[in-house]
């Protein structure tokens, strides 16, 4: 094989060829020096041409090993990690991580920033004054030993190659690719060193997989890549046709996660967190059925242990835990602008994609690499599928700092809603649960 170069990789993939492991190894070890235009050309070629399972497995493995693999053997008990493939209003991690920890299972969470029109947990936690998601590995492990929950982003130490690919995909229209999503998600889950891996594969307008069949393809790929790399992965395919909960943004999503941990959250968000958590507790072997796990988690919300754990978690990462009682200490918008219903009727459609785009347009997403975010802006949805509305009533409020960005966001949110005369029901929250058995990596 000739010595790889970025140009040869781009041309191979453009022409539908398959990369050898050595070529991908060269790319991952040199990616920090690859010019943006060449990296985005290669990513686009992958989006258009795809990758074989062998290539996807190699890329995942190499990205995971671009930094350290966390050794959690000195952290007692099984450790769990969860990841979503990306959604709108998806603040599940902010609820699930402390919730599961409060029920006695350790959560070692490696998270990402916003991607495309979807939000990212690392950006959201930065709305909490002082919260540091870039903690060193030793602090991460110490925190797991002391309070059973820690959250970190990719750093120079953990899956750094994913950090570079991810930031470029976000701004080059190269997110929607099964091999790139699988490698990105799984490389972080392997680097986190967790024993129990639960992946929330989103399906619908606000997801990168627009229907259940493509969500299953993504789940199948991630389970098979996990199996080949010796990791057992459970995938839950869940609804992202309409946004999760009412809040889409950063500060407002953290506030909604807090309400959920206090037992006052939206029904869909609460239900999803409890169902995913039940599967994690089952995977960790602390309960005999997912239903028993769910009951334990509902109890942790009801008796206050879940919100207590959230306070501990925030404080351990340098954040101001007064945020629980005073969410207004997070960045707040100057204006709350209603988007009004144009007709009487029932909400029959609420598309997550334009809502995510509205949030991004208001300043809640990046239009270029490294762009600063406005953590105060976003969308508060007042009406969801099935709700009755009257003409002129607020469907949603836009949280705005820059009025110049308002018109596009109003149009986007207006277009997200479909109102008709007949009551509609929300689609099922959980579409399917898939699990594969791990085999040793050498097999």
* Angstrom distance (rounded) from CA 66 to CA 59: 10
- Per the CB < 8 A criterion, the answer to whether 66 and 277 are in contact is no
* Angstrom distance (rounded) from CA 82 to CA 68: 19
Q: What does the DSSP assignment read for 211-251?
A: SHHHHHHHHHHHHHHHHHTT--EEEEEEE-SS-SSSEEESH
Q: Which is nearer to ligand URA, 93 or 251 (CB)?
A: 93
* Angstrom distance (rounded) from CA 243 to CA 353: 8
Q: Which is nearer to ligand URA, 170 or 312 (CB)?
A: 170
State whether residue 48 is helix, strand or coil.
helix
Give the nearest distance from C-beta 184 to ligand URA in angstroms: 3
**Residue carrying the six token digits 């709350």:** 336
In this structure, how many other beta carbons lie within 10 angstroms of the beta carbon of residue 349?
Answer: 14
- Per the CB < 8 A criterion, the answer to whether 288 and 158 are in contact is no
Give the nearest distance from C-beta 313 to ligand URA in angstroms: 21
Burial class (CB in 10 A: 0-12, 13-18, 19+), 137: middle
Q: Which helix (H) or strand (E) holds 27?
A: helix 21-30
Report the catalytic residues.
83, 162, 169, 184, 188
Longest CA–CA separation in the chain, Å: 67
Give the nearest distance from C-beta 175 to ligand URA in angstroms: 6
The residue at minimum Cβ distance from ligand URA is 184
Q: Which is nearer to ligand URA, 152 or 185 (CB)?
A: 185
Q: Which is nearer to ligand URA, 31 or 180 (CB)?
A: 180
Q: Which is nearer to ligand URA, 41 or 63 (CB)?
A: 63
Q: Which is nearer to ligand URA, 164 or 400 (CB)?
A: 164
Q: Residue 279 to residues 121, 276, 377: CA-CA distances in angstroms? A: 21, 5, 33
* Angstrom distance (rounded) from CA 304 to CA 405: 40
Q: Where does this chain bind ligand URA (CB under 6 A)?
A: 85-86, 112, 115, 180-181, 184-185, 188
* Angstrom distance (rounded) from CA 152 to CA 144: 12
Q: Which is nearer to ligand URA, 105 or 191 (CB)?
A: 191
The backbone torsions φ and ψ at residue 133, rounded to the nearest 5 degrees and listed phi first, read -85, -5
Give the nearest distance from C-beta 182 to ligand URA in angstroms: 8
């Amino acid at each position: 094989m000739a010595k790889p170069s970025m140009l040869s990789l781009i041309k191979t993939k453009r022409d539908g060829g398959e990369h050898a492991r050595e070529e991908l190894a060269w790319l991952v070890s040199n990616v920090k020096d690859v010019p943006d235009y060449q990296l985005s050309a290669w990513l686009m070629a992958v989006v258009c041409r795809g990758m074989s399972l062998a290539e996807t497995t190699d890329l995942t493995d190499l990205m995971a090993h671009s930094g350290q693999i966390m050794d959690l053997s000195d952290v007692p008990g099984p450790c769990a990690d969860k990841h979503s493939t990306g959604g709108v209003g998806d603040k599940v991690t902010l609820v699930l991580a402390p919730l599961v920890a409060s029920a006695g299972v350790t959560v070692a969470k490696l998270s990402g920033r916003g991607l495309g029109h979807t939000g990212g947990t690392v950006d959201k936690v930065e709305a909490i004054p002082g919260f540091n998601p870039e903690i060193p590995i030793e602090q991460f492990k110490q925190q797991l030993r002391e309070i059973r929950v820690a959250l970190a982003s990719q750093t120079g130490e953990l899956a750094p190659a994913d950090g570079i690919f991810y930031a470029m995909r976000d701004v080059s229209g190269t997110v929607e690719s099964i091999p790139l999503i699988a490698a990105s998600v799984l490389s972080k889950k392997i680097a986190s060193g967790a024993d129990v891996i639960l992946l929330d594969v989103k399906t619908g307008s606000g997801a990168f997989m627009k229907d259940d069949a493509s969500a299953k393809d993504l789940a199948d790929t991630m389970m098979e890549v996990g199996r080949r790399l010796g990791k057992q992965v459970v995938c839950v395919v869940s609804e992202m046709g309409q946004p999760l909960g009412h809040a889409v943004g950063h500060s407002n999503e953290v506030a909604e996660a807090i309400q959920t941990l206090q037992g006052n959250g939206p029904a869909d968000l609460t239900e999803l967190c409890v169902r995913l958590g039940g599967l994690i507790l089952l995977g960790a072997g602390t309960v005999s059925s997912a239903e028993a796990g769910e009951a334990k988690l509902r109890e942790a919300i009801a008796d206050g242990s879940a919100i207590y754990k959230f306070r501990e978690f925030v404080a351990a990462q340098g954040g101001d835990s007064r945020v629980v009682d005073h969410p207004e200490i997070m960045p707040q918008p100057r204006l709350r602008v209603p988007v009004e219903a144009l007709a009487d009727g029932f909400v029959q459609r609420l598309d997550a994609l334009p809502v995510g785009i509205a949030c991004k347009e208001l300043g809640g997403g990046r239009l270029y690499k490294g762009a600063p975010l406005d953590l105060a802006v976003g969308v508060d949805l007042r009406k969801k599928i099935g709700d009755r509305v009257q003409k002129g009533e607020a469907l949603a409020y836009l949280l705005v700092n820059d009025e110049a960005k308002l018109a596009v966001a109003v149009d986007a949110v207006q277009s997200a809603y479909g109102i008709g005369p007949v009551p509609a029901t929300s689609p099922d929250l959980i579409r399917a649960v898939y699990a594969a058995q791990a085999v040793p990596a050498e097999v």
